Every structure is written in C-alpha cells, then in structure tokens.
Structure 1
Amino acid sequence: MKICSSFFIGLLACWGVVAQSFQETEGGISATIDSIEVEIQFFKPDLVRVIKYPEGSSYKKESLSVIMDPEDVSFNTREKGDYVSLSSKDLEVLLDLRNGNITFKRLGGRVLLQEISASFVKFNDAGEDTYSVSQSFKLDPEEAIYGLGILQNGKMSQRNQEVKMIQGNTWDFVPFFQSVKGYGLFWDNYSPTTFRDNIERTQFESEVGDGIDYYFMDGGNSDGVIANMRHLTGEVPMFPLWTFGYWQSKERYKSQEETVGVVKKYRELNVPLDGIIQDWQYWGDNYHWNAMEFLNPNFPEPQKMIDQIHDLNAHIIISIWSSFGPETQPYKDLKAGNDLLEFQTWPLSGKDTWPPDMNYPSGVRVYDAYNPEARDIYWKYLRKGLYSLGIDGWWMDSTEPDHLEFKPEDLDIQTHLGSFRKVRNAYPVLSVGGVYKNQRQETSDKRVFILTRSAFAGQQRYGANTWSGDVTASWDALGEQIPAGLNFSLTGIPYWNTDIGGFFLSKFKDKLEDPEYRELYARWLQFAAFTPMMRSHGADAPREIYQFGKKGDDIYDALEKFINLRYSLLPYIYSSAWDITHNNSSMMRALVMDFLGDSKVHDLNDQYMFGKSILVAPVTRSMYTVNKSENFGEVKSKDIYLPAGAIWYDYWDERKFNGGKRIEKETPIDVMPLYVRAGSILPIGPKVQYATQHDWNNLEVKVYPGANGEFILYEDENDNYNYEDGAYSEIKFEWKDEQKQLIIHPRKGEFEGMLKERVFNIKLVGEKQGSTSKNIKYHGEKLQVDL
C-alpha cells in the first residue's frame, strides 16, 4: 500500500510504516498501516465493506447507490501472526498488518479473493485537493468474471481487457463484477474509472476519490451474489403486466394522427400490441427542447390522442430528456437556481438539420440531477405537462447524459455534489430516481415504468428498464447484444432491452428493401421476444410489422408468430418478474447461473436461459441472404450446446435430448432454437391482442418430465402497488417425476378480481408416448393429478 505525491518532473516519492496494532469497531476493525487508515465492517455475515484513506484525513460519504444499513453481525476477532482475522458465520476476512492487504475466505473453505495493493495519488479536482485511487486484486488464472454493465464487446467473461468506464450512449457502466467462484465486488465510486484485468492483477482505478470504498459479498452462486447486491443497493419493484407485451416505436411519429394510426393498424391486423412510444419533437423546435408539453402544431389535441390510444386498449410512453432548450419553462426555473451544467449536449443547433448549423446554437443544457431541488423542478413540469394527461410511462432518453464535443475541463463543472468528474457516472441513477420517487409520492394506484438509456448501481430500485442505446444494425451488433444484456443482468439490474433491428441502418443502403436486413430484423425480433421488454424502434426506416409485407409473406409471418409467442408466455414471464421482486432472481440468465458445474458454459456468449425453464439460442448470422438474394425456402441449421446436468426438450417438436453435448437445430426463418429443461412446468396463456384482454381462466400447463420440478404461478391486480400490502396470489405446481404426478397446491393469498375457479389443461410433454392431457377444475384447494 502506498501514498504517492507528484513533484518535479513526474517523480514519485513513496513511504510507508508498518502498523503494530488494530482496534475493534462496532461492526469490524480499523488499523493504520503504511500511513493508510483501513476499516473493515460487516454489513451482513456474507457482506463486508472496506474503506481505506490516507492517515490524517477523514472519510465520510453518503453513498448514491448503497441504501442498506449495516446489520448487527456477530463476529470473532483474533490475531494470527502478522494477520488479524475477522470471522462471521459465513466469511473469514484476513488483514495483513504488514502491508494492509485483505484476503476474503469462505469460512472453513477456499480463498475467494485477495488484494494485492492499493494506491493514492494526490490530485487536484477543480480546486479541491483529493486523490486518484486504485485497488488491485489477484484472481485465479482461469477464473471467469461477469458484470461491469452494458458492454458492446461481445464477451461473456470480462477477463483480459481494459475498459474506460464513463457513461455513454451504447456502453453503460456499473463498477461491479461477480466471479464464477460465487462472490461479487462493488466498487463504490462515481468518477471516470478504469477497469483492468491481466495476468498480473485485476484493478479498479478511479480519477477521484477521497478514499477507497468497496463492498465484498459472498453469495455462493450468481443468484446469491445478486441477492446481496440488491440487499445493498435496493430491491426490484414489479412492473405493470402491460409492459411485458409488444411495443412499437420509431424515430419519430410526426403527428397525433400517425401515432394513433399505428395502434389502429395493429388492431385491424389482429397483431398483438400493448404500447406505442412517442419519440422527440412533440414539443416543436429545438429552442423548446424537452418542454414536457405538446407545442408542435401536429399534436393539437394531445388529450384526445392519449384517450384514443387508451380506448384501443393500448398504452403510451413518451420521450423526455435530461436537457432543456432555453425557451422552456423548466430551463428558466433551473437556470434561476444555477442548476444547468454548461457543456455541449444534444442537439447542438437550434435548427433541426444535419449536420448541425452552428450559426444557430441551440443553447440546450443538461440539468443538475445531483440536486434534489432540481429533480423536483423536473417533476413539477413533467407532472403538469404530461403526467396530468394520462401518459403511462417515461422514455428517459440521454440519461448518461449526452456529452458532445467533450473537453476534459468540462469535468471541472460544479454540480450540487461537487465536480462533475467526482460524480459523473452516477447521473443516471439520480435522474431516473427523481422521477420514480416523485411519481410514487403522487399515487400508488399506478406503477412507475421508466425506459432509460443509461444506468448505474442501484437503479433496479426505480422501476427502470435500460436499453442498449443507439446501436447500428448489423449481425455483429445483434450478437453483441446477448452478452451485453447478460452481463448487465449479472450486476443485479434485471430489466434490459434493445432496439429491435438496431437503431441506425447505415450499413443497409436499401433499408427495408434489403433482403439481408429483413432477415436480420426477423432474427432480432425473435431474440427480443425473450428479453424483459420486446420493443421495436429505430431510425432511417419505419419498423411496424406491416412494413415487412403482409400475411402470407415469409418475414411478416415470422414476426407475427413470435409476437404471438411472446403473449402466450405472459403467465410465465409475469411469474418470473415476481421471482425477481420476491426472490431476487433474474429473467435473462447467463448459463453459468444455472449450470455452474458445466465449465463449457462459463464463457458461452450466444445462449442463455429466459427464466429458469427456457434455453434461448438466437440466430446471429445470416443464413439466407448472404448473397443479397431473398430465398427463405431452403432450411438451414444452427449448432447448439445443451448444458450438462439436465434433459432438454425442443420447444417446437418436443424431441428429447440429453445435456452435455452439441446438436444441430434446423432454423427456417420462422424458428429460433428454444429448449425447455426437464422438470419445467410452463403455463401457456390465451391468444390475445393485448396483455389483459382475457384472464387466465383456462391456462394450458405443460409439464416436461425427466426431473422433479416446481413453478409458482403469480397473479395480482397488474398495475398498482397493492401487492406490496399482500394483494396477490400464488399457485404452486409441483411435479414428482418418478410418480408421474403433478400436485397443485392450495392457492396462497388473494386480491380484488381474483379468479376463484378456473380450468387448467394439463399437458404431459413426451417424445415417445405423444402428449397426455387432462382438464382439471381448480377451486383453490390442493389437487393431485396423475399423468
């Protein structure tokens, strides 16, 4: 451990003194080693906070991510030669009194993680003396690690790379990783941070930090680590049922007639749709950027537009930004409070032209979301101009925020919490959190739903679904979305999505007329059907289903098939959402989460589990139009790996396979490989045009034999917070494979409008004997069904 001070021409002088003692504190110990104060504190028996700062200074921080108060943890302290050991019922933490390095061990078991060295380099941050800080760790050579945020690098394991972590459009960063060994580490710092991993060390290095501050957690496995991360930074609320349907958007609908017309067209075609998104410029010109009111003359009756959409049994969310034009009321209020940040952001020009005409600078500025009073001003105008009209949710664009023509001195700008550099990466969690908190104070009758372009640790507590930004359409980009979404989920933030088809079509000169793009779009939509939000969006060409032909056309039929498939799985998806809220689970699950013992999946980046039953293997390469011809008649195939330790059923033809081997799956344009794990119980919902059109009175329940299993069907009132007070029901299905017996347990809980009587159509899936079905009337009492 060292303190370094720059002097003369970059020369560094370092000094140190070995500590001889330590002191016990309320939750751990403290010691002074090599002129560095070291504090170790148990937050839970398996969760530890580590703080380090130079001797003679002080360190106090109110975390922007951590909301957990330390528990009263029982632990023992004893000296072991040059070490002091702290032991809870789960962890042993060893502090080396010679150099201040810390080792984390599972109690009575293996070493999980070891520190190598820490560093403090004096730094002047916009006139304030502080430090640049780093901490290095030693990982096992073959140890896979996951997380760090949304990374467009195509990697599943994040070993052997260097990443500069500063929020951007398509790269969102969370300074957290978890290991295949079952532990996680959250680096609680908000300044630009570099993550490095090589054969020598794994390191976080941040530009600004009065001290080193991180949390080590041992979960035993990925789910346990994620649970600890959420205990630390916030639990996940339920999303409304309607958010899990299909969503249509584009850049942008230019009139209220066009917006409503899209919904009407879907209803005429009998293609399911739950929501429409109104993108930017409904406020008019760029000088009124993000006015949070309809000033565009093409939207003369916004209340009528919203009412028409609701009358069509659809929902609308609308684009709002982190910046304001100089002619808007929010801008004027924020400027009066010195709550605008003076750097260049989108749009640069007041004229809606490309390239920007800088003879007419827009004057648009980002607001200081670090100030709670500024967040309240933001909500005041959002409430007045849009929420009061009945808008259902918020598309919070540019929550990084957009920072154009970047200059290093921009980071010297003062925010409510200090320099922009000091708090740069936490902007998303504060801006999103301001809207969530204010709306929750408004009412509990409607759940908050936020679609946002950026995220930071703790954002899962704010009803937000993060999308992967303005990615350019290509097969490589499609493939990169899979590990991007999985690694983001592995940081503890479970809700993620992507622009179906990619945002920009610059690589496809003929846009929708290009056969290869039509193939790419179909494959992207198939993948999106198995993400937490299924949302079509993009620039350069419209993406509505009817832009891809008509019923009977190959691409159109493939799109319609997967939209309907999504709706059939809503009981499964909504129950999986409850598993997230109630049990700290995840919806998009890297295969290592459920098949840790199979080393072949530790770095597999193109397959995953959707919920705990369905294995998804998206097609991420052109099969039919590589030569720009449009021939979807020939059947192609994809190589699939089925993880060991399970029996698998092909979702489409119900063929059975043993795990631990690779197989070939035929993949015509309307088929994406899907496999269901033996022991799964899969509820299939009714055919609908929107999520709540029909209740779940007559569900098909598919049972996949070959292993014991269980599933909990969750239901509630769909769009309020009454579930927090117990207004929901659970029906547990338990499959006993040896007895070929399905037990439907007594219903637990109740809510207004709950089905008290219903029919379950039980279907036993099987390769040889065909399918066995039984219709069972269920009144809430225990039933035993022999199949």
Structure 2
Amino acid sequence: MKYQVVTPEIIHVTATPADSFSKAESLIAAPKERPAANWSLREKGNQLVLKTDALSIIISLQSGEAVFQDQQGNTLLQERQGGGKTFLPANVEGQAFYSVRQVFESPADEAFYGLGQHQNGLMNYKGEDVELAQHNIVAVVPFLYSNKNYGLLWDNYSITRFGDPRPFEPLSGLSLFSKEGNPGGLTADYLDGAGKVIESRQEQEIGYEYLHDFDGMPENFNMENGKAVWEGSISSDTSGKHKFLAYLSGYTRIWVDGKLILDRWRQAWNPWYTKFNVEMKAGEKYPIKVEWIPASGKSYLAVKHLGPLSEAEQNSLSLFSEVAEQIDYYFIKGNKADDVISGYRELTGDAPIMPDWAFGFWQSRERYQTQSQLLEALEEYRKRKAPIDNIVMDWFYWEEDKWGSHAFDPARFPDPAGMVEAVHALNGHIMISVWPKFYPGTKHFDEMNQKGFLFQKNLANETKDWVGPGYLSTFYDAFNPEARELFWQQIKPKLFDIGIDAWWMDATEPDINSNESIEARKQLMSPTALGPGARYFNAYSLMNAKGIYEGCRTAAPNKRVFILTRSAFAGQQRYAAATWSGDIVSRWSNLREQISAGLNFSLSGLPYWTMDIGGFSVEPRYEKAQGEDLKEWRELQVRWYQFGTFCPLFRSHGQYPYREIYNVAPAGSQEYASMLYYDKLRYSMLPYIYSLSGHVFHDDYTIMRPLVMDFPSDPEVLNLATQYLFGPNLLVAPVYEYKARTRSLYLPSGNGWYELSTGKYFDGGQHITADAPLDRVPVFAREGAILPLGPDIQHTNEGFSDSLTVFVYAGQDGYFQLYEDEGENYDYEHGAFCTIGLAYSEKDQSLTVEERSGSFPEMVSKKAIRVNWVSPQEPKAIDDKASSGQWYEYDGSELIIRKLKLIGDKTR
C-alpha cells in the first residue's frame, strides 16, 4: 500500500500484491509542480494516522483498510472492512496483470454522479450498475462525485464496472419454458414479411449480439422485412431483484408478466442496451414475450440476465477493472461540488477557454456533399438573419477509395482553400471531420505502415468496411507519440494550412470495425505502443486529442484550438476537447436521455458537452414524413433545439431529413419561429455564456450543472434527471414528450424563482406544472440572479458585449462576474483578460457595476449598460427589453445604477 499526499485535499492511493509498484506514467494525471503539502504520520495502536491540513486518513496495520475523515472527524469515505481489495491474476497476450476490485462502504443517503456520458436516463448511480467501455454514444470518465462532497478518480484504462462486477450472462442461466410450458427454452417464432411463421423452435438464448453471432439464425429469415418473437416463461431458484439487459437495434418490445416494460428503436448499425429489473420469487414462473422487428439487412438483439446481489453489496461503492498492474485511485475532498471538480482538474489539467465563436450556433448534417452545398447553407442563414458562426464538413469529402488522405475530392470540392476563405468572408468558421482511419493504397497509409504505426489485426482479417464495394482499413496507434506526430503532419498541409478552424475527431473509441465483440475490439487495437489493447481500451480518444492539440499549439501557438470528439476520457479537457453524445436517434426517449447524459458528463469534470440536436439517426417513418409524422418530426426538432440552446455548445446535426431550420419547417410556421427565437436568444446570452467559460478556466467552474451541485441540502434534487442549472442563474426543464404543453418540474428550496418567458414569480421548494407551449421551454431565473444580455447580432465578430441589457431578479442579493478577453488567442493564459463584477443589493435596490479589473489590448474601454428590474410586483419577460431603463456609459470605473421608484407621476 502507498499513500501519497498530492495536496491537503487530494490523496493518491495505490495497492499491489507484487513486490513493487508500477512505474508506468499515468495517462490521466497531468504532470505539475506543486508546493509540498504539510502532513504528519503517527502510529496509534494498530493504526496509522496520516494527517494533512484538510484530512485524516486512518489506516489499519492489520488489513490495510483506509478511512478518510474531515478535520472534524466525520467519515467521508471508508474502504470495506478488511480493505475491500481483490486481485485476481489476469493473463493478457502473454503478459501478467491483475483484475482488480476496490469496495467502499456507502451510507444509505449517499448519491453518486459522473462516470462520463451514458445512455441510461439515470442521474443518481447509487445502487445502479454502469459499465465503463467506450462505444459510439458512450464516453467513459472513471471519476465519480459523491454528495458527501468527495470525488474518486480511478486511474485505470481498461473496461471497468461500477456496481456489480459481474458481466451479464445469457438467459440460459434461468429456467426457461416454452409457450406450452415445456422446459428447455423459450418458443422462438421467425416470421416472414406477410406475418407467416417460417420456423418455430425452442431457444435457450437470444444472442444476436455481435457481427459474428448469426450462425444459428434460420437461413430463410429475412431481416429486411421479417419479425421474430420469443415467448414463454422464466423462473429462478433465487428470490430478489433480477437484472436484465436488452442489447438491440431495430424495433424491440418486451413484456414481463403481461406488462410492457421496454419499447425501443435504434438504427441497425449502432445497437445499444436498455436495462430493466424484475422482482422474482424463487420457483415462480413469469411470462415473458420479446418482439423484434429488425431495421435492415443486419440488426442486432441480445437479451441477458444477472441474478440478484444482496442489498448491502448492491448499495456499496464498488469499482472493478479487467486489466491492471495495481489498484490506483485518488481521493479528492471538497466543501462543495465545485471544490471536488477543481480537485479533479488540479490532477488532470485545466480546461482551456474555447474560442468565442464556438459558443455560437453550429450547423451540421450528414453531409454536405459538395463545396457549393456547404456554402449555400451558410449563405442561407445569413439571408434569413438567423445567427450562425460555424458550419461543419462531415466525413467523405475525399475520393471514395482514399480514406486517410485528408484530400478533398476535386470533382465535388474543386477549391477547398477557396471554400474556407468564403466561409471566413461570411464571418463563419469551419470544422472538419478527421478519422484516425486509413485505406491501403494512400500515401499516408504507406507512411504510417512503414514505421509500424498502424494496428494490423483488421488488415490481417481482410475485413472490408461499408463504403462502396467495401475497402480494407485500419486505425493508427495514438498511444505512440511518433505516430501522433506523423498523424498531425499528414493533416497539417491538407487541412490546417488552408485555414480549417476546428477539428472533429470522429470514431475515437476506436471504432475500427463496428459491431465486433468486445474481445475482438480489444484485439483490433492491440498491441499499442504502451501495451495490450485490453489494458488501454478506454484511453484512445485522450491520446488522439493530445496529438491534435499539441500539433495545433505548435503550428499556431496563439490560436485557440477547438476539438470535438465522439469519445472522451479523464483528462481530455486539457486538450481543448469537447464531446458530443454520438449517433443517438430521433426519438423522444433519446431526447430525454441526453439530459442526464450531459449532466453526469459535466459532473465528471469535463465542462464542454453537446449532442446532435434532433437526434442523428432517423426512424424510417420520418424519412419522407407526411401528415402526423411530419408534425411530430417538427415538434421533436423544436423541443430538441430548445434544449440545445442551454447546453455548453449549441450544435445541430443528423442524417436526412436535413436539419437547417429552414429545412425542418417553413418560415412563418410556429416551429420555424421558435427555432429562430432560440437561436437569437442564444446569441443575446453570449455575455453570460462566455463569462462562464472564463470561469471554467480560471475557477474550474461547470456550466451545465446538476441541481445537486447548487442545492446539496435539498433531498428532492438528488435523483432529478431532466432539469438542471445553466450557469448559476438559469434552471432549465426541457420538454421531452410529444404534444406536451405543460412540464412538471421542481423548484429547489432556498430560492424564489422567476419564469423567464413571463417574469412570473414562484416560491422555491415546490413541484409545479409549468406552461410549455410549443414555442417555449420552461426556464426559470433564481432570486438574486443577474443575467447580462448582449445586442442582437448575427455572429460573434459583431461583438456580443459592447452593450448590455442586464436583467436583475429581485429577492436576494446577487453577484455575477463578467469575463472578457480577445476571444481567439491564448493571451489570457498570461493575464490578458478583464473582469467586471455585477453586484445587486436587495436592501438598496441597486446594481453596482464594479471597477474593471485587468485589461487586454483589444478591450472595448466603454460600454453602454441598462437594467431591467424584475420582482414579484413587477414581472417582466426576458423579451421585454424595450421597457428597460436609461442607458448608462460604463468606462471601467465603478457605476451604481439604482432602481427608480414611482411616486405619483414623478420618480425619485
């Protein structure tokens, strides 16, 4: 056992049964020189007591178990009695490792958050199971936050399980019975397109899970128009909560005991799982029916099971990793959630400020197929006076057989440099998709292959991808620093040097060949320069982002980097990398799940998250929608767009139908008007949003905030998965049900709240039903909120904070700090920025614009400011700027603006 005092609040714990500790350098922790922390160590009976200025760690000399306590002696975290450590030998590609597990005690009122981005709709992970394995739509961050105000950073890169350490097993672990009650399996009926049963048999498993799992499927079953139904009953010799997992694509419905408990659709090529639990009594039979309508020529379905754990085991804090040299974790203490996140970034690196234009609107689609299509989309936004800053070039801009060349197809993109120049002339910026993927026959493939920088297994398997007739391909080894450098040197002359502004690093799980089994995926990315693929399974995106960030900083040291990745890992924020939630689907349930996905990702310490507004893959009924389907499609897009406005990054993307607002709905429609309204509202909020981004870098802030961060003493917020704070002042409750025109939500206690769209006041500490007309989403400002809004602009080059309309929501004192810098360079790292405090006094009914602190060369020295006062007696809608008071000139000196009080027809 080894305990290292990193800071007074951070303790690094390692344990191994071997004679020595691993000398491998952490990929997660960022090297940093720190002043030595004060600590003391003394022996007390059969214990060691390690003390810092913030913590005590009591270590048993008999079992090695550790108890982490605050200065008052309150236990924050305790390893399970006996130490809670398990080491099982694991042989990986001929190398000796361990599978490791660490278990901690957890009181009943504890709640857990973080672990990255997962598509399970959950907020609080207490008593839940989460597998940490990179996948398209899953981003792994092995960090969790406890409402007891500590964090745990698990330094391991292999597949990890929070909660139950067991993998799911086939249904055959249960007793299965046919429709007729015969033991030995469920009745499986395979039907043709006319609904006729073409084969009926008993099956012990539903296991069409991966690419090579279809040998047992009836040869005459056609997934293009067929249907399969499994029916019968299940039984177990163990009572308790049984866990089930349905890994699916296509349409899947599951009934247990006559109740519909699952109704899902996913695109054929990107299956994912949904979990459900069933309380079962030993020996009793439970009817089950599984109905599957595949989505195309190859869809997937597997239904799996795990037996119950004891309640104590299920509710403990357990982390298990498949491949490790040692148990390795960091304990981080804080007085509040923001302190814990600050500790995480102290260990893993600061999050640089993104360029200011990144906080404007991003328009994307799969895909702009020609140079003219891309430019026409940007031009159309400008013609319609719909604010936009960013246009995106998705994959396949190269010639069909030249993936990895980074060269545009000259037939479709005759002048790439001219295209980029035209985007810039329209005051836009362009992001481009770059995969870590290479086709044989390209110069870049040969350069990589000659140096041994490519993974070879997919080539040896002679696996062809899905493009055209199919092509051999593989990915480069991002764990090799020389390979990362070469990757950047191949990208630079083709893309960076023509002025590309931002980097979309797609498929960085890495998705070398979709729908391979987990074991096959490990082999496809093995060996890495650091060791077996299984050892480094989750860390590819971190290393890929590192290479691009370092390449950009070397090529243009003072130009801000923006990277968007489909995968993430702990520490990735230090490389100016944002994450989007992958190839999600255009369904209401998936809209709902993005809320908790983004919130838990944010509480994992990575501040910049976004999603495909509208969902990426489209249910077939929407592809050529008419009538009610078209109406629902437009409403789904509008509701998603409203949610996206209040995310750290505001980005629309998806497959056909096209997602430009004028393609979603025509001008003059309520749907179009709502999307345009929220686009403009986003731009008016840029002074607020950009100030939050400064707060992220300078103060380790979190923009998209689960309510537990700000209302930790309110038990009602612990499990809230569909509402959150956007910055300190705005509570957002997205609408995620079709035809909903109200939204049930909770207003946390300790504050009054103002409805943004009307200014109406509500007491906190209550559940309400808020109005949610199609064109508006429920958003509430808290008492004491100060919300600075900028002028109406079309892009960030117009300047978003030269004049400010400040909304002040009365009831409590309030404070907000404006942050400004140049917007596109890194001078802020050297002190070139300014802050302006905005302080509201409830007693004096005044707003003090404090003396400006700091400066930068491009700073606008004077700005016009006016105030809109909102109170229960004087409600004002966020759109009501016209009734604001007079304009005041702010020159950097303190300015006090007082609310005017009406007396008859006079003011004082």
Both proteins in one fold, TM over 0.5: yes
With over 3 angstroms needed to count, the CA separation of the structure-2 counterparts of 1:612 and 1:282, relative to structure 1, is: same
Shift of 1:637: 1.4
Distance 2:519 2:87 in 1: 21
Q: Which amino acid aligns with 2:152?
A: L
Matched AA of 1:780: G
- Seen in structure 2, the aligned counterparts of structure 1 residues 161 and 693 have a Cα distance that, compared at 3 Å, is same
Report the residue type matching 1:480 in the other structure: E
Report how far residue 242 of structure 1 moved. 0.5
Helix, strand or coil at the partner of 1:77: strand
Is 2:235 the counterpart of 1:268?
no
**CA distance change for structure 1 residues 556 and 343 in 2, over 3 Å: closer, same or farther?**
farther
The corresponding residue for 1:242 is 357
Query: Which runs of 5 or more residues in structure 2 are unaligned?
Result: 165-310, 877-883, 900-908
Evaluate the alpha carbon distance shift between residue 590 and residue 185 of structure 1 in structure 2; reply closer, same or farther with a 3 A threshold: same
The residue number in structure 1 matching 2:86 is 119
**Separation in 2, partners of 1:207, 1:278:** 38
Residue number in structure 2 paired with 1:332: 446
Which one of 435, 443, 449 corresponds to residue 321 of structure 1? Answer: 435
CA deviation map 1:716-749 (0-9, x unaligned):
1110111112211111111111111211111111
Q: Which moved more, 1:692-701 or 1:368-377?
A: 692-701
Confirm whether residue 746 of structure 1 aligns to residue 851 of structure 2. Answer: yes
CA distance, structure 1, for counterparts of residue 367 and residue 403 of structure 2: 15
- For the structure 1 residues 96 and 244, does the alpha-carbon distance in structure 2 shift closer, same or farther, using more than 3 Å as the test? same
> In structure 2, what is the equivalent of residue 107 of structure 1?
71
The whole-number CA distance in structure 2 between the counterparts of 1:409 and 1:762 is 61
1:407 Cα offset (Å)? 6.0
SS at match of 1:199: helix
| Alignment partner of 2:545 out of 432, 442, 457 | 432
User: Do residues 715 (structure 1) and 831 (structure 2) align?
Assistant: no
C-alpha RMSD over aligned residues: 1.7
The equivalent residue for 1:25 is none
- Structure-2 separation of matches of 1:510 and 1:541: 6
Contact 1:564 1:687 in 2 (8 A): yes
State the shift of 1:119 in Å.
1.1
Judge conservation of contact 1:196–1:202 (CA < 8 Å) in 2: yes
Point out the more displaced range, 691-700 or 368-377.
Answer: 691-700
How much does 1:489 deviate?
0.6
CA contact (8 A) 1:77 1:84 kept: yes
Does residue 85 of the first structure (1) align with residue 49 of the second (2)?
Answer: yes
Aligned equivalent of 1:775, options 860, 863, 887: 887
Equivalent of residue 446 in structure 1, options 559, 562, 568: 559
Superposed CA deviations along residues 390-418 of structure 1, whole A, max 9, x for unmatched, are 00010110111104323625535211001
Counterpart check, 1:306 vs 2:420: yes
Cα distance in structure 2, aligned partners of 1:410 and 1:689? 45
Matches within 5 A, 1:654-733: 654-733=759-838
After TM superposition, list the pairs within 5 Å mapping 1:365-444 onto structure 2.
365-404=474-513, 405-406=516-517, 408=519, 411-412=522-523, 413-444=526-557
Q: CA deviation at 1:59?
A: 2.2
Q: Name the SS for the 1:749 alignment partner.
A: strand
Q: Which residue of 1 aligns with 2:158?
A: 191
Residue equivalent to 1:46: 9
Q: Distance in 2 between matches of 1:508 and 1:416?
A: 46
User: Counterparts of 1:548 and 1:58 in 2: how far apart (Å)?
Assistant: 58
Paired residues of 1:512 and 1:518 also in contact (CA < 8 A): no
Does the residue aligned with 1:596 lie in a helix, a strand or coil?
A: coil
Q: Which amino acid aligns with 1:775?
A: W
Give the CA deviation at 1:328.
2.3
* C-alpha deviation, 1:556, in angstroms: 0.7
Q: What CA distance in whole angstroms lies between the structure 1 residues aligned with 2:766 and 2:520?
A: 55
Identify the match of residue 589 of structure 1 among 692, 700, 705: 705
Distance 2:591 2:644 in 1: 10
Asked if structure 2 preserves the Cα contact closer than 8 Å seen for 1:146 and 1:177, the reply is yes
2:213 corresponds in structure 1 to: none
Contact 2:66 2:79 in 1 (8 A): yes
Call closer, same or farther: CA 1:637–1:275 in 2, change over 3 Å: same
How far 1:444 sits from its partner (Å)?
Answer: 2.8
| 2:636 counterpart (510, 520, 526) | 520
Q: How does 1:507-586 map to 2 (within 5 A)?
A: 508-511=621-624, 513=626, 514-586=630-702
| Residue 715 of structure 2, aligned match among 593, 596, 599 | 599
Q: How many residues get paired?
A: 732
State the distance in 2 between where 1:424 and 1:736 align: 53
Per the normalisation by structure 1, the TM-score is: 0.91
C-alpha distance 307-553 of structure 1, shift in aligned 2 (>3 A): same
Change (3 A) 1:272 1:470: same
Distance 2:705 2:561 in 1: 24
CA distance in 2, matches of 1:259, 1:509: 23
Q: Determine the structure 2 residue equivalent to 1:203.
A: 318
Do residues 233 (structure 1) and 348 (structure 2) align?
Answer: yes
Q: Distance in 2 between matches of 1:182 and 1:415?
A: 37
Q: Distance in 1 between matches of 2:692 and 2:572?
A: 19
Residue aligning to 1:464:
577
Counterpart contact for 2:758–2:875, Cα < 8 Å: no
SS at match of 2:163: strand
Which amino acid in 2 is paired with 1:60?
A: K
Determine if contact 1:343/1:410 at 8 Å carries over to the other structure: no
Question: What code does the residue aligned with 2:538 have?
Answer: N
Q: Aligned equivalents of 1:478 and 1:764: distance in 2? A: 35
Question: Which of 750, 763, 775 is 1:645 aligned to?
Answer: 750
Q: What is the distance in 2 between the residues matched to 1:418 and 1:512?
A: 50
Does structure 1 residue 363 correspond to structure 2 residue 479?
no
Secondary structure, in 3 states, of the residue corresponding to 2:140?
A: strand
Task: Give the 3 Å change call, closer, same or farther, for CA 471–351 of structure 1 in structure 2.
Answer: closer
- Is the counterpart of residue 483 in structure 1 residue 601 in structure 2? no
For 1:785, the equivalent position in structure 2 comes to: 897
1:170-189 to structure 2, matched below 5 A, reads 170-189=137-156
* Alignment partners' CA distance in 2, 1:475 and 1:344: 37
**1:43 touches 1:71 (CA, 8 Å); kept in 2?**
no
Partner of 1:97: 61
Contact 2:505 2:566 (C-alpha < 8 Å) held by counterparts:
yes
Percent identity reads 40
Q: How far has the Cα of 1:697 moved from its partner?
A: 2.5
What TM-score, normalized by structure 2, do the two folds share? 0.79
Q: Which runs of 4+ in 1 moved over 3 A?
A: 68-71, 343-351, 507-513, 769-772
**Counterpart in the other structure of 1:18:** none
Contact 2:143-2:153 at 8 Å conserved across structures: yes
Deviation at 1:297, TM superposition (A): 1.6
Residues 821 and 833, structure 2, Cα contact 8 Å, conserved in 1: yes
Contact 1:119 1:133 in 2 (8 A): yes
Structure 1 position 291, deviation (Å): 1.6
Q: Are the aligned partners of 2:811 and 2:871 in contact in 1 as well (CA < 8 Å)?
A: no
Per the alignment, residue 130 of structure 1 pairs with 97
Q: Is the 8 A contact 1:686 1:698 kept in 2?
A: yes
**Counterpart contact for 2:355–2:560, Cα < 8 Å:** yes
Q: CA deviation at 1:327?
A: 2.4
Please tell me whether the aligned partners of residues 15 and 327 of structure 2 are also in contact (alpha carbons under 8 angstroms): yes
CA shift, 1:236, in A, is 0.8
- Measured in 1, the distance between the counterparts of 2:35 and 2:16 equals 24
**1:333/1:705 Cα in 2 relative to 1: closer, same or farther (>3 Å)?**
same
For structure 1, which runs of at least 5 residues remain unmatched after alignment? 1-37, 625-635
CA distance in 2, matches of 1:159, 1:142: 9
546-555 vs 504-513, which deviates more?
A: 504-513
Superimposed CA distance per residue, residues 348-379 of structure 1 (whole angstroms, 9 cap, x where no aligned partner) = 646634xxx5xx4x121011000000000010
